[in-house]
Amino acid sequence: MGPDDATLGVVLDTTAAPAEVVVDGERLVVIGYVWEPATELVCLDGAGAVWSCSPDRRGRMPMNSSVDALRRFLDLFGAFFAAADDPPPATYTAAQLAEKLAAFRRGEITPAAGGPDRRSARVERLRTSLREVDGGAVEAGWWALVLEQVDDGIL
């Protein structure tokens, strides 16, 4: 699986990066990367906690308390993204679109009313599920940044 197929670009792969790195004086085992190994490494410490590490080994940010929790988070986010409320974009030929525009101008088509905001409820369910798996990871670190982007509608 490559980064384009991976949820949030997180690829668990021990062959694409160095086997170990030292960050903040601690030896970490590299278990993957985010988007590409030169961008961000996913590492495991001696206690089994998962960290996001810069490739220059100058800093790290907590991700999850375990690899199992990381995998579960990725599964939950994958399901969240797959269940998006937005319908796929419609595709029309130029002639079809011209006809729709003409019908709209004649008053035969009225714009659809906006639907209820289901995204907020989905985001809250996601947060609840994530807290059940690894509550500390939701409040601070790597996942807190991801969830901020979800809240802002970027993701």
Per-residue pLDDT of 45-95, as tens digits, reads 999 999 999 888 788 999 999 999 999 999 999 999 988 766 666 788 899
Cβ proximity of 29 and 20 under 8 Å = yes
Residue extents of the structural domains in the chain: 7-84+117-151
Q: What is the pLDDT of residue 47?
A: 96
Task: Specify the residue for token string 């990367």.
Answer: 33
Instruction: Sort 105 into a burial class: Cβ within 10 Å, 0-12 / 13-18 / 19+.
Output: exposed
At residue 1, does pLDDT exceed 60?
no
Q: Beta strands of the chain (E only): which ranges?
A: 10-12, 20-23, 26-34, 41-44, 50-53, 60-64
> Around Cβ 64, how many Cβ atoms within 10 Å?
28
What is d(CA 56, CA 30) in angstroms, rounded to the nearest whole number? 13
Structure tokens belonging to residue 16: 């694409």
Q: What is the pTM of this model?
A: 0.77
- Asked if residue 134 lies in contact with residue 110, where contact means CB atoms within 8 angstroms, the answer is no
